[in-house]
């Protein structure tokens, strides 16, 4: 009869039903659990350098208004990473060592992220070549394709390891 009693209790919403029902998730608690993720997204969107006009103070490529070549020199930053700045950069940043160091740090971070992305892209291209080689019809085609895959240059991966000591699996 205990089982029948339990079913009746549940229907009536009695103490047994309430004890067994999972407590409703607290929305505030869920929001607090999301804060680290939200912060991560916000921080990744925020580049970490001040900009009054919304334009970054540098570019890793010479393009548009970014024509003046510079390279990183700040302490604690990988030296000699080339980047390009617009006219007026020196007036705004070069006289303030702290601001210049922040720009150098941003250059280093962006450079490393670009290398990581390029490395992953090259590894994916290499995996695709291996896949194609494995699915070649003849042994000769397979061997030639596998050789191409083995010789595929992972220049960004090499540079990432050389400059930052990072290996991407």
DSSP state string for the chain: -HHHHHHHHHHHT-HHHHHHSPPPPPHHHHHHHHHHHHHHHHHHHS-SS--SSSS-S-BSS-BTTB-EEEE---TTS-TT-EEEE-TTHIIIIIT-HHHHHHHHHHHHHHHHHHHHHHHHHHHHHHHHHHHHHHT-SSHHHHHHHHHHHHH---HHHHHHHHHH-----
Q: Tens place of pLDDT for every residue, the chain, 169 residues? A: 666 666 666 666 655 545 555 555 566 666 666 676 666 666 555 544 444 557 899 999 999 999 999 999 999 999 999 999 999 999 989 789 999 999 999 999 999 999 999 999 999 999 999 999 999 999 999 999 999 999 999 999 999 999 999 998 8
């Amino acid at each position: 009869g205990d089982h029948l009693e339990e079913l009746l209790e549940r229907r009536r919403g009695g103490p047994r039903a309430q004890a067994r029902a999972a407590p409703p998730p607290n929305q505030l608690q869920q929001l607090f659990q999301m804060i680290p993720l939200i912060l991560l997204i916000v921080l990744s969107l925020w580049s970490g350098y001040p900009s009054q006009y919304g334009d970054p103070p540098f570019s890793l490529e010479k393009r548009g208004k970014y024509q003046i070549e510079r390279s990183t020199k700040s302490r604690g930053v990988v030296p000699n990473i080339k980047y390009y700045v617009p006219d007026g950069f020196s007036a705004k940043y070069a006289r303030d060592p702290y601001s210049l160091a922040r720009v150098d740090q941003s250059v280093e971070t962006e450079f490393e992220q670009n290398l990581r992305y390029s490395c992953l892209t090259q590894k994916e291209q290499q995996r695709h070549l291996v896949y194609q080689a494995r699915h070649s019809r003849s042994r000769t085609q397979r061997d030639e394709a596998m050789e191409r895959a083995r010789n595929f240059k992972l220049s960004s991966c090499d540079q990432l390891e050389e400059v930052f000591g990072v290996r991407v699996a």
